[in-house]
Amino acid sequence: MTSSSDGSSGAPTRWAAAAAVLHLLVSAYHYLRGVSIRHDFPPSTWDFFWQNLTTADLKDRALESLWYLHAQPPLWNALNAPLIKLFGDAQPEALQIVHVLLGAALAALAVRVAAGLTGSLLAGAVAGALVALDPALVLYEAFPLYEVLCAFLVMLTLWAVVRAGPEGKTRPLAVALAALGALVLTRSLYHVAIMIPAVAAAAMLARNRRAVLAIGLAATLLPAGWYAKNLAQNGFFGGSSWYGMGLWRVTLFRYRNAELAPMAISGELDPIVSAPPFSTPSRYRPLGYDRVSDIPSMSRNDFHNVNIPAVSTAFGRSARTLIAHDPLHFLGNIVIGYGNFSAPSTEYEQLAPDRERMATHVAAWRVLTGLPIARLVDRSLPIGTSGSFFLVLIPLGLVTHAWLLARRWKGGESIEATLRTDAPLLWAAGLIVYTTLVGSALELGENLRFKFMIEPLLLTYWAILTVRWWRVRRTL
């Protein structure tokens, strides 16, 4: 079965439905055992998180608050505004139901993608079961941030490229580009720049290149327009005003105050670095960041405050200065970030209460992903963590994929033919490389939460590569 014949048999559909039902049963079981979105983040489950506009803002002045939003791209808060309007105080429970349905869809998509790219129902069943039974998926379904939505959009783009097939069907490619544009509008980790190679790849595949280019341009202009809005309002071209603070936090790690003091005294570092990044805005007022706003969402002492863009820009300048001063130090911090990225997504600290309610399930997943072995290795490390088997499996999967492609070229297949027939898996590899690099370089601490957005994709990718590797091995 090739990617173009994905829908030719009813068997993949039945297996996909079975994977979805399996996940619904797993989620329902854990919900009955107390895994809930509600009770671990007082006083308000939604308002607890910096990324979310307040419930009051989304209920009473949603359009105004979204228009002046700078901390995050708009789609996540925009999608939750109707839930708040419709369900009021029950919005978190409604959100958890939406997440569970997206989780079931993720399991179904894993089946369809793996079966479609290998012709093996067994590969589809394994991929679907791994996603359906992943305890991290259940935990993030009970977590009021955008991880599950992003994971779904990532898998949706891949499924759509599979559906497009080597013949480059227009509608599936349009879905892939629209889903990728939605991802950029949801999570600032995904910069609008990723749309450029994506649109180029889709146009290369497309049977109707003009139509796909037009759709790709529209999907790119929406987030680019949002970035332009942020540039006009707040002086930065991007999805989030927090980039500079995040970069400073990564850059600063492992420096001692004595090492930084001469640079601060000389004026190479901005005075803002005397305060920690991601402090509340009131902490920066003595340093001159004291603007006020008549917009309610920008007037509070939180990370949507009117002063945060300027604060973050100042941190970003100092981060770039420090990186230029010692690039190897920064690269070392990225390596440490990759270790954190490789840890099981279940281990994110804010998941602890629900993780304890899933103790047996999580314990089995820890063994499967090699966390006990990683912890033994960590004892010999001076700093950081080796994470889990993900540390090795992510690069090993990419190397295996490259080896399989090289064998096809050596066998006489043209590069153009390979790129066309293997486009879905190359698309997956691109998303894996991008998310891993950015998720390791622009964060230090919550990297494993960032990794979850490609975890269902990784499980599916590895299932596909395992089948392909096994088939080649049998011919050696």
Q: Could you write out the DSSP letters of every residue in 210-242?
A: HHHHHHHHHHHHHHHHHHHHHHHHHS--SS-TT
DSSP H or E run through 341: helix 327-342
Query: Hunting for tokens 């066309």 — which residue is that?
Result: 420
The answer to whether 109 and 10 have CB atoms below 8 angstroms apart is no
Give the span between the Cα atoms of 294 and 297, in whole angstroms.
Answer: 9
Closest CA to 173 of 349, 417, 361, 4: 4
Distant-in-sequence, close-in-space partners of 240: CB < 8 Å, separation ≥ 6: 70, 71, 72, 73, 188
CA-to-CA separations, 305 to 69, 71, 177, 186, in angstroms, rounded: 9, 9, 33, 20
C-beta of residue 118 within 8 angstroms of C-beta of residue 104: no
- Residue 137 contacts residue 345 (beta carbons within 8 Å): no
Question: Distance between CA 284 and CA 311 in Å, rounded?
Answer: 8
Quickly count: other Cβ atoms within 10 Å of residue 416's Cβ.
9
pTM: 0.95
229 occurs within a structural domain: yes
Determine, yes or no, domain membership for 272.
Answer: no
Residue 474 has a pLDDT of: 85
Rg for the chain, CA atoms, rounded: 23
Determine the angle formed by the axes of helices 423-441 and 327-342, rounding to 10 degrees: 120
295 in any annotated domain: no
Question: Which residues span the domain enclosing 175?
Answer: 3-238+386-475
Match 């600063």 to its residue by tokens.
252
Domain-located, residue 93:
yes
Under 8 Å between Cβ of 397 and 405? no
In the prediction, which pLDDT does 383 show?
A: 87
Q: What pLDDT does 101 receive?
A: 98
| pLDDT (0 to 100) of residue 10 | 80
* Helices 308-325/243-252 angle, 10° precision: 40
What pLDDT shows up at residue 43? 62
Task: Please give the Cα distance from 77 to 84 (Å, whole number).
Answer: 10
Paired tokens of 442: 């622009």
Residue 333 domain-assigned (yes or no): no
CA dist., res. 171 & res. 440, Å (int):
34
Residue 315 falls within a domain, yes or no? Answer: no
| Pick from 70, 309, 86: nearest CA to 188 | 70
* Residue 214 located in a structural domain: yes
Position 1 scores a pLDDT of 38
Domain presence at residue 328: no
Per-residue b/e over 101-137, b at no fewer than 16 CB within 10 Å?
Answer: bbbbbbbbbbbbbbbbbbebbebbbbbbbbbbbbbbb
**Counted domains in the chain:** 1
Question: How many angstroms separate the CA atoms of 226 and 324, rounded?
Answer: 30
Measured from the Cβ of residue 293, the count of other Cβ atoms closer than 10 Å reads: 14
* pLDDT for 41: 63
Residue 300, amino acid: R
DSSP labels, 291-311:
---SSHHHHSSSTTSTTHHHH
Q: Provide block-wise average pLDDT over 10 residues at a time, the chain (476 residues).
A: 48 95 98 88 80 96 98 98 95 96 98 96 97 98 97 98 96 98 98 97 96 97 98 97 97 95 95 95 97 97 97 97 97 96 96 95 97 94 91 97 94 90 97 98 94 98 97 86
The CA distances from residue 285 to 268, 292, 311, in Å, are 21, 11, 10
Whole-angstrom distance, CA of residue 143 vs CA of residue 126: 26
How far is it, in rounded angstroms, from Cα 21 to Cα 8?
Answer: 22
* Distance from C-alpha of 68 to C-alpha of 53, rounded to nearest angstrom: 11
